[in-house]
Amino acid sequence: MANLGLIPTHDCVQRICEAFPEGCEVELIWMDDVYHKIPRGTRGKVVRVDAIGTIFVHWENGSGLGVVWNSDIVRNVQTGVVSNTLWDDGNPPKNL
């Protein structure tokens, strides 16, 4: 998977911010980073979401890698919303 230089719309970023607010707990489903492997199932707390939809997480393993929109996938532990359901600007979030 790769971001391919795509940038989410403002509405998409807003939905990401609402679905992954600061302090919420997330679980990693998939991360495409060959240099900094974080195992599937690792949990962390959301620090912030930036203007291009990157979800910055303080992972339980000490890493601070961000979850890249249209590439990496996390699940909000409390609500069950999965980040890749927010990639398509035309569809509301849904659980997997």
CATH value at residue 57 = 2.30.30.30
Residue 67 belongs to what domain range? 10-86
Q: b/e map of 3-35 (b: 16 or more CB within 10 Å)?
A: beeeebeeebbebbbebbeeebebebbebeeee
Number of compact structural domains in the chain: 1
User: For position 34, what pLDDT does the model report?
Assistant: 80
pTM: 0.85
- Report the pLDDT value the prediction gives residue 96, as an integer from 0 to 100: 40
Strand partners, 57: 46
Burial 48-62 (b: 16+ CB within 10 A, else e): ebeebbbbbbebeee
Confidence (pLDDT) at 54:
96
Residue 54 located in a structural domain: yes
Establish if 5 belongs to a structural domain: no
**How confident is the model at residue 81, as a pLDDT?**
96
* Residue ranges in the chain assigned as alpha helix (H): 10-19
The ranges of the chain with pLDDT < 70 are 1-5, 89-96
